[in-house]
Structure 1
């Protein structure tokens, strides 16, 4: 089994970044496991930088002074070369954000709380301020995460998203056998498009971690596993 997957559209069309998403035989929280992934993908592990994730909307800027520092937050941005960013998920939505023109990158960890707080939008806002990013130049990847097929939630949470957050004619949930299933993919696509990202530049892998629990860690399917998928993004 491979240690990670890549994204064909990024590999073929954006030559200045490395993007990898780890598979189930890797625990992204293990330095030894990540060393294998980074060596295989030619990623600079000594500069690997991640957050202490707290399901917030905090976006941390990685610069020369805080490489490899652990700070509370759920998104990271940088324009430094050879400084890979890493976020951890196991059903939550990982989002990679790549500025093709300014050569800056961001990663966002969007569980339902982060999605509700529009962490993807806030990450883009920080990139606009720090790197003069134009959202129309962004390419975004929605990685493996629990899909609307499996993410059963309460009716109250569904209504919270549809009335308070999106408030449009689209429905961001499905109903099966009187149960409600929230579509975090669709909500995050909506947030990205509302932030100015072109629809054609949003790559949704449509990989449900619950359906594909043989390939990816799933918090719900694997009995609240402490192991995590890692999304790694680096400017070469």
Structure 2
């Protein structure tokens, strides 16, 4: 029901988890169940209305539980779970192990292209005085390059923007193009100074793993969602 990242982040002050298709996080009852199962504070659960952009919400004592139009969320307040919804898009967790700050990003191709991870890292640095060498990142399950067929124009759009990448950002199969959102988001994190050893990439494809994950593409634009959820304990 949950993929826990305790062995990855190895931080006793935060818990990060990713839900499977046994729950539909678009449903209130399933969000309550998650919080009960993981001992998260449901009353403080905070998430955004996601719009495929790169705006980031800072959660302080005065806006806990508010729903804003944004695709990133950051807090340094204990007992406040933060969450992003996904069903093929990339979710990324950020953990400042020194200053005890956490963040989440929802990054489909638009959010990835707009570098929402760069925005989150910069806000953690400027607002919370985080140092990039102290930030650990977890990339959750998402549609992989094995399945994420896109147009040639979209591939070229990414190639033009990320010309400094030393790796191919896509693969070609049977004259079709498949974008690698995992690899692109890794590149963005490292471009911002995140150490390679501080990036955990699940590399789990939501489209391939039909028994484990919902998939927007596979399930014909399903409304069902998984979520990356984090809380400072």
Instruction: Give the TM-score of the pair, scaled to structure 2.
Output: 0.97
| Residue in 2 that maps onto 1:206 | 203
Structure 1 match to 2:7: 9
Q: CA deviation at 1:8?
A: 4.5
SS at 2:189 equivalent: helix
Instruction: Give 1:1-236 correspondences, 5 Å limit.
Output: 3-10=1-8, 13-236=10-233
CA distance in 2, matches of 1:213, 1:133: 38
Partner of 1:115, secondary structure, is helix
Unaligned 5+ segments in structure 1 are none
When the two structures are aligned, how many residues end up with a matched partner? 233
Q: Tell me, what secondary structure is at the counterpart of 2:188?
A: helix
Please list every run of at least 4 consecutive aligned residues from structure 1 whose deviation after the TM superposition is greater than 4 angstroms: none
- Specify every segment of 5 or more residues in structure 2 that has no aligned partner in the other structure, as ranges: none
Question: Residue by residue, what CA displacement relative to the aligned partner does 1:93-126 show, whole Å, maximum 9, x if unpaired?
Answer: 0000000000000000000000000001111111
C-alpha distance after superposition, 1:111-167 (max 9, x if no partner) = 000000000111111111111010110110000100011000011111111122344
Give yes or no for contact 1:18–1:43 (8 Å, CA) kept in 2: no
TM-score (norm 1): 0.96
Deviation (angstroms), 1:40: 1.1
The CA deviation at 1:231 is 0.8
In 2, the alpha carbon distance for the partners of 1:90 and 1:168 equals 27
Give the distance between the partners of 2:189 and 2:53, measured in 1 at CA: 18
Q: In the aligned structure 1, how far is the partner of 2:173 from the partner of 2:187?
A: 23
